[in-house]
Amino acid sequence: MRPSKRALDEMRPVSFERNVARYAEGSCLVKFGATHVLCTASLEDKPPQWLRGQGRGWVTAEYAMLPRATHTRSRREVTSGKPSGRTQEIQRLIGRSLRAVTNLPAMGERQIVVDCDVLQADGGTRTAAITGGWIALRDCFEWMRARSIVKDSPLRDHVAAVSCGMFEGKPVLDLDYAEDSIAETDANFVITGSGGLVEVQATAEGSVFTTDELARLLALAQKGVDELLALQKSALA
Amino acid sequence: MRPSKRALDEMRPVSFERNVARYAEGSCLVKFGATHVLCTASLEDKPPQWLRGQGRGWVTAEYAMLPRATHTRSRREVTSGKPSGRTQEIQRLIGRSLRAVTNLPAMGERQIVVDCDVLQADGGTRTAAITGGWIALRDCFEWMRARSIVKDSPLRDHVAAVSCGMFEGKPVLDLDYAEDSIAETDANFVITGSGGLVEVQATAEGSVFTTDELARLLALAQKGVDELLALQKSALA
Amino acid sequence: MRPSKRALDEMRPVSFERNVARYAEGSCLVKFGATHVLCTASLEDKPPQWLRGQGRGWVTAEYAMLPRATHTRSRREVTSGKPSGRTQEIQRLIGRSLRAVTNLPAMGERQIVVDCDVLQADGGTRTAAITGGWIALRDCFEWMRARSIVKDSPLRDHVAAVSCGMFEGKPVLDLDYAEDSIAETDANFVITGSGGLVEVQATAEGSVFTTDELARLLALAQKGVDELLALQKSALA
Amino acid sequence: MRPSKRALDEMRPVSFERNVARYAEGSCLVKFGATHVLCTASLEDKPPQWLRGQGRGWVTAEYAMLPRATHTRSRREVTSGKPSGRTQEIQRLIGRSLRAVTNLPAMGERQIVVDCDVLQADGGTRTAAITGGWIALRDCFEWMRARSIVKDSPLRDHVAAVSCGMFEGKPVLDLDYAEDSIAETDANFVITGSGGLVEVQATAEGSVFTTDELARLLALAQKGVDELLALQKSALA
Amino acid sequence: MRPSKRALDEMRPVSFERNVARYAEGSCLVKFGATHVLCTASLEDKPPQWLRGQGRGWVTAEYAMLPRATHTRSRREVTSGKPSGRTQEIQRLIGRSLRAVTNLPAMGERQIVVDCDVLQADGGTRTAAITGGWIALRDCFEWMRARSIVKDSPLRDHVAAVSCGMFEGKPVLDLDYAEDSIAETDANFVITGSGGLVEVQATAEGSVFTTDELARLLALAQKGVDELLALQKSALA
Amino acid sequence: MRPSKRALDEMRPVSFERNVARYAEGSCLVKFGATHVLCTASLEDKPPQWLRGQGRGWVTAEYAMLPRATHTRSRREVTSGKPSGRTQEIQRLIGRSLRAVTNLPAMGERQIVVDCDVLQADGGTRTAAITGGWIALRDCFEWMRARSIVKDSPLRDHVAAVSCGMFEGKPVLDLDYAEDSIAETDANFVITGSGGLVEVQATAEGSVFTTDELARLLALAQKGVDELLALQKSALA
């Protein structure tokens, strides 16, 4: 029995609330259980400096947690003057995941910044951010299409992400904070609408894992992502 | 006629949603029209270093805006490595305002950090933060009382804040962003439940103001604060 | 009886020494009693980046204290890598005050930086800085006029500032450090030569203040500023 | 045919030179072809602050590249004042990998810092750093055992790492810089002496990958790691 | 003929004004011609962290220039977040020079910080700072002796400093800014009251110098320092 | 007898290994006994911003130590966010020394960055860096000449550096770390191939030194530099 009482292959309740930010070109408040992430997509009419003149656009992401998103208050990163290693790792992952399903040349020389701000954290913030960030990005592209900034949406596919872990020797889906703290292995999977793998990151915590366990975690993730993709589609309907 | 079509002495719709943050000892999502600020109060069992051993507690505040709280995206302050002058000015004001109604020795040697994170900004973020931050602080003190950490609440009074401005030669209440941009004078007032003044900050923008105008702005602010105090009381009922 | 033995409405001895900095376009060593601030105005032939191409100039201020300006040595701000919140608040106030009496378009696309460095601090450093900074700025504009960089001085009026406070229930003028430490309310007023208000900042320390008290502090400030304006005029004669 | 002319499953020449740093408790210059990393293990007699009093030790890693390790000179990270996201990601990975084979309580309350400084970079610096860092760590533990600081070596197993990638639709082993730049998928595998997986990080570059491809990359990595483990053993003989 | 019209071996007018800082334990405004440096000595009752428990004190120095001490305004170092290399070099030199004539164990476990703030810069700021800093330090030690904090002054000797340079092939004494800019060699000498050398720093600018030239510069410096020592003694009389 | 058992005027074994960095235009691993410094010269096709359009090039240097180059591990400077005063002092010295023998206009509008990274430190790292950095710079200029980027090498002369010190009242050559720690005076000399002095930096440690002692240290340095120049020439043969 997992701490959350969920079945081994059971996701938390997931919801997407679109258009929550009055000024952003696209936005989504995504909830994976008690994990809440506010995602906004902001269109900028110039790509980053290093990309100018190459006829392509760029999608990047930034990630942060409110100080009291967590059980105990965390210091704001501005206080130490720089984002932590963990923050940078996560925002790089979100950016890569969203770019994997974007036709960058079709964007023109523009940049979209997807901000993922964690209002409340109960495990799986990076997977929620990718999954909800995709909605914000998609709506931003629709906003651009409605204004004829692009002819067709530069988005090529859905993308969603979920975490899995080995818990008491069994693979479990969508770890919350309590489960994540005691899992032996922690893995994040980013998968497209057509089933292609974008990122696999599996880390032993405490004990190593086997090839077979990795395969079982991946199979479970595919089940979870299928559900997320269906929910993304409903949210857009 | 003001841009918002409100009467000169009309506040925007104001609401307080309590207990919005699962982990914080006190929390409140405050809305002044389209300005939305998430306030959390976090209890820490030690006062700041410089206050140790003096038998008193401390209340401090931090303030930040999400990057896309505004019409165009703002860079995160962590990127430049330090909070801006504006941010520091605001968080110092919030802290002073809340301490003005707190019995610091009655808190014991503890600290409460009130985080005010602006989810959406349409003018008046600092006044919303003070008014909603008071609710979060109050609920944190109740949380402490319920656990016998303090015997009585260290809170001595309500506190609320509102902005006023001279607009086309007339005093107007509770400026939104569009009004703030064109007001000739911009003033913020922080007032307690018993009508005492805690802070008055009036700034000429474009043209100077007179003693008489300051008095009229203050009278208007008192009307607005009376409404805010009544709404705070309803929210606690 | 106030600690300084001065009458309630008595300023400290105030003096202005012009042209104290060999290289600056305008400079003034201002003394409010034992508070000594060296103000220099430096002309730069470009406005700040964000103002380019708008046909206007800019006046900005920077403020700092020498480490041993104070009773005990303060750490240099460069050591912590950023100006404190207090420093930023003060330099923003000085800049706004000087811009309030400057015709920015008449300056052309230029910037004047007014540096206010506190050599010795005994309370009221920000008000001394505004009052003496105005002299430095005025002499910088004269320097420009003498070289036909501007046809007429872009300065529209005098500006001066003074602090007042409630001390043992009575309003007192021009607080020194000892008085400031024990005042119940601390207020700063910035007023132009024609009597217009530029800034009013009143803060409760320990106990709140009333509308009537604010009016009495303001009346006292007006008396003090009248004296400062007369002294500015003598210094220029 | 891969750019390096190597067979698809062929590693670059790998060598370990031990005791290259006169002062370090353990050190190793590891070469994976033209990628050269100097690894030193430094024993410190205190664990990090957050671990004090828990009866356990800690192994951490730091990673950096000399400015001209690369084709074109890179700016030193000290110039921008903080390690890049990439650097932090890599040093966190090295640290986790080495801790996965260390018995932390057996170390006592001490810390070992493994510094991995890239003298020359031709792809695969992180995998070389893990593989060579293990040698430095092992020799540090031997140094401690020789001085009776620990009774038995706290090292539980070997650990080694290698990168693989999909290149023109085929899985290839141990990518150099030229290959890495054009691979469709880039994956890093960290594997213990007994064949347990410690980390799997696979990233789509340009096109997504399949479950089957991931399995083939993993099989290839296991072949490569077997060779690395044999070379580690020879180096210690 | 040198630009300043002085004879080759002629110092600028030098003066010392003691007790210029109301709060400092020792202070001196030193002028070498148009170079003006305000030196304060601040007693702290603890030595720096790394020296605790060794029964010795410490003397350190900090150096800065006001933004408009120079012909064109310089950015404050706090703006870039760190002292420049030049600033650090100078403050390390001042500290070493003053420690060279101080009996550190006789100070007890205390620290004196000598702040040297350049109000106006016309070349030779570091040599003026050492020479005037010595006066401030001496008066601080007298302050301590008067209060029986130390029995005898921990100061063992005078110290003074002067710059020399090769100018059109001839050695000249005490370079001002205009001369320094065109000198072929620039040298600073720090010498004690008993004629011992503390620091010699000679740098070729444009063309190298010979052993003989170094000897001639040194002889000239000794003449200049003799005059400075006599002036220090007068100032103390 | 000096701790190293060397004769008073005996250098440590010195060697230069050229072309050690695969990608750099010039490189040299220089060893002064156990002090090992990796020097690379990197050609950049633009001069620094402040030199643009003046028809001249620039040579600059950066210096760093690997964390475990020393007896006990040093914190990386990136951790504190800025290079230390010592680092800045050294890299400014290396840059000045190399520029003293370079014809900057002959370089064209380009920059060469000489990176000096200390792999192992046993005293004299700055003198080794200058002496080895010269080799790297020379090979970079040859690389440019071979590609007709410059017609003739912009290098005008050799330059080399050595440290000397007073040890038990006697001048000794080329101090290692143990000797440096106990020397009474520590001096660094930078001298060109034709015998011109570029830099003389002599510092009293513990006791002052005399004019005569400085002359003897200088004579010894000239002997050491003669040997270094001969070794540079052999290395290029």
Q: What is the DSSP string of A104-128?
A: GGGG-S-EEEEEEEEEE-SS-HHHH
Give yes or no for a contact between C136 and C28, defined as CB atoms under 8 angstroms apart. yes
- Tell me, what DSSP letter sits at residue D75? P
- Which burial class, exposed, middle or buried, applies to C27 when counting CB atoms under 10 A from its CB (0-12, 13-18, 19+)? buried
Q: What contacts F223, CB < 8 A, 6 or more positions away?
A: F9, F173
Sheet containing E14-18: which strands, arranged edge to edge?
E14-18, E26-32, E35-44, E111-120, E58-65
Say if residue F68 carries a ligand binding annotation.
no
Residues of D in contact with F66 (CB under 8 A): 38, 40, 115, 117
pLDDT score of A79: 85
C79 CB neighbour count, 10 Å cutoff = 12
Residues of B in contact with C164 (CB under 8 A): none
Q: What letters, b where the CB count within 10 A reaches 16 and e where it falls short, cover A26-51?
A: bbbbbbbbbbbbbbbbbbbeebeeee
Q: What contacts D41, CB < 8 A, 6 or more positions away?
A: D24, D25, D26, D27, D112, D113, D114, D133, D136, D137, D139, D140
Band of residue E80 on the pLDDT scale cut at 50, 70, 90:
confident
Position F78 pLDDT exceeds 90: no
Q: What percent of chain C has pLDDT over 90?
A: 91
Q: A87-91, A148-152, A178-182, B100-104: which range is least confident on average?
A: A178-182
Give yes or no for a contact between F115 and F137, defined as CB atoms under 8 angstroms apart. no
On whether any CB of chain E is under 8 Å from the CB of C196, the answer is: no
Widest CA span in chain E? 56
pLDDT score of B168: 86
Q: CA-to-CA distance for F32 and F11, rounded, in angstroms?
A: 8
What is the pairing mode between strands D58-65 and D111-120? Answer: parallel
Position B151 pLDDT exceeds 90: yes
Encode pLDDT of C19-55 as tens digits. Answer: 999 999 999 999 999 999 999 999 999 999 999 999 9
Encode pLDDT of A22-55 as tens digits. Answer: 999 999 999 999 999 999 999 999 999 999 999 9
- The 3-class SS string of chain B reads CCCCCCCCCCCCCEEEEECCCCCCCEEEEEEECCEEEEEEEEEECCCCHHHCCCCCCEEEEEEEECHHHCCCCCCCHHHHCCCCHHHHHHHHHHHHHHHCCECHHHHCCCEEEEEEEEEECCCCHHHHHHHHHHHHHHHHHHHHHHCCCCCCCCECCCEEEEEEEEECCEEEECCCHHHHHHCCEEEEEEEECCCCEEEEEEEEECECECHHHHHHHHHHHHHHHHHHHHHHHHHHC
Position E79 pLDDT exceeds 90: no
Taking CB atoms and an 8 Å limit, are B67 and A21 in contact across chains? Answer: no
Give yes or no for a contact between D180 and D17, defined as CB atoms under 8 angstroms apart. no
Quote the tokens at residue C137. Answer: 């700025």
Which residue has 């190597």 as its token pair? Answer: D6
pLDDT score of A200: 98
pLDDT score of F80: 82
Residues of B in contact with A83 (CB under 8 A): 78
φ, ψ of residue B224 in degrees (nearest 5): -65, -45
pLDDT score of C21: 97
Arithmetic mean of pLDDT, C177-186? 91
Sequence ranges of the binding site of C: 86, 124-126
Quote the tokens at residue F17. Answer: 């290994």
C154 CB neighbour count, 10 Å cutoff = 22
Encode pLDDT of B154-164 as tens digits. Answer: 999 999 999 99
Q: In whole angstroms, how far apart are CA E209 and each of E59, E170, E215, F200?
A: 34, 11, 11, 10
Q: CA-to-CA distance for C231 and C132, rounded, in angstroms?
A: 11
Q: How far is F29 from chain E (nearest CA, A)?
A: 26
Q: Is E191 helix (H, G, I), strand (E, B) or coil?
A: strand
Arithmetic mean of pLDDT, D159-173? 94
On whether any CB of chain C is under 8 Å from the CB of B201, the answer is: yes
pLDDT score of F206: 78
φ, ψ of residue D133 in degrees (nearest 5): -60, -35
- Mutate which of B12, B27, B73 to disrupt the A interface (most A C-beta within 10 Å)? B73
Position F95 pLDDT exceeds 90: yes
Q: CA-to-CA distance for D196 and A202, rounded, in angstroms?
A: 12
Q: How far is A204 from chain D (nearest CA, A)?
A: 5
Arithmetic mean of pLDDT, C87-94? 96
Give yes or no for a contact between A57 and A112, defined as CB atoms under 8 angstroms apart. yes
Position D221 pLDDT exceeds 90: yes
pLDDT score of C80: 82
Q: CA-to-CA distance for F3 and F181, rounded, in angstroms?
A: 11
Q: In whole angstroms, how far apart are CA C96 and each of B76, B206, C92?
A: 25, 10, 6
Give yes or no for a contact between D88 and F76, defined as CB atoms under 8 angstroms apart. no
Quote the tokens at residue C237. Answer: 């004669």
Give yes or no for a contact between B213 and B220, defined as CB atoms under 8 angstroms apart. no
Residue B40's closest chain A neighbor by CA?
A68
Sequence ranges of the binding site of C for phosphate: 86, 124-126
Encode pLDDT of E15-52 as tens digits. Answer: 999 999 999 999 999 999 999 999 999 999 999 999 99
Contacts across the E-F interface (CB distance below 8 Å):
94
Give yes or no for a contact between A133 and A94, defined as CB atoms under 8 angstroms apart. yes
pLDDT score of B206: 78
Q: A119-128, A188-197, D216-225, E76-85: which range is least confident on average?
A: E76-85
Give yes or no for a contact between E37 and E27, defined as CB atoms under 8 angstroms apart. no
- Tell me, what DSSP letter sits at residue D201? E
At the fourth CATH level, the homologous superfamily of domain A14-236 is GHMP Kinase, N-terminal domain (3.30.230.70)
φ, ψ of residue F169 in degrees (nearest 5): 80, 0
pLDDT score of D91: 96
Encode pLDDT of A224-237 as tens digits. Answer: 999 999 999 999 99
Q: CA-to-CA distance for B59 and B49, rounded, in angstroms?
A: 13
Q: CA-to-CA distance for A127 and E68, rounded, in angstroms?
A: 53
Encode pLDDT of F154-192 as tens digits. Answer: 999 999 999 999 988 899 999 999 999 888 899 999 999
Give yes or no for a contact between F197 and F225, defined as CB atoms under 8 angstroms apart. no
Give yes or no for a contact between F121 and E121, defined as CB atoms under 8 angstroms apart. no
Residues of A in contact with D83 (CB under 8 A): 85
Encode pLDDT of B188-204 as tens digits. Answer: 999 999 999 999 999 99
Quote the tokens at residue A224. Answer: 């979870």
Widest CA span in chain D? 56
Taking alpha carbons only, the member of B125, B66, B132 closest to residue A27 is B66
Q: Could you tell me the pTM of the whole model?
A: 0.91
Give yes or no for a contact between A31 and A15, defined as CB atoms under 8 angstroms apart. yes
Taking CB atoms and an 8 Å limit, are F115 and D81 in contact across chains? Answer: no
Residue D159's closest chain A neighbor by CA?
A208
- Which helix (H) or strand (E) segment is F189 a member of? strand F185-192
Residues of C in contact with B103 (CB under 8 A): none
Taking CB atoms and an 8 Å limit, are A198 and D204 in contact across chains? Answer: yes
* CA geometry: angle A89, A95, A101, nearest 5 deg: 140
Q: How far is D168 from chain A (nearest CA, A)?
A: 17
Position A168 pLDDT exceeds 90: no
Give yes or no for a contact between E107 and E150, defined as CB atoms under 8 angstroms apart. yes
Q: Where are the domains of chain A?
A: 14-236
Band of residue D78 on the pLDDT scale cut at 50, 70, 90:
confident
| Residues forming a β-bridge with A114 | A41, A61
Band of residue A206 on the pLDDT scale cut at 50, 70, 90:
confident
pLDDT score of F168: 86
Interface confidence (ipTM) of the complex:
0.94
Q: CA-to-CA distance for B69 and B129, rounded, in angstroms?
A: 14
pLDDT score of A71: 95
CA atoms within 13 A on the CB side of F64: 24
- Tell me, what DSSP letter sits at residue E106? G
Band of residue A78 on the pLDDT scale cut at 50, 70, 90:
confident
Say if residue E203 carries a ligand binding annotation.
no
Of B82, B199, B204, which has the smallest distance from its Cβ to C203's Cβ?
A: B199
Quote the tokens at residue D156. Answer: 């539980």
Encode pLDDT of E187-211 as tens digits. Answer: 999 999 999 999 999 999 878 999 9
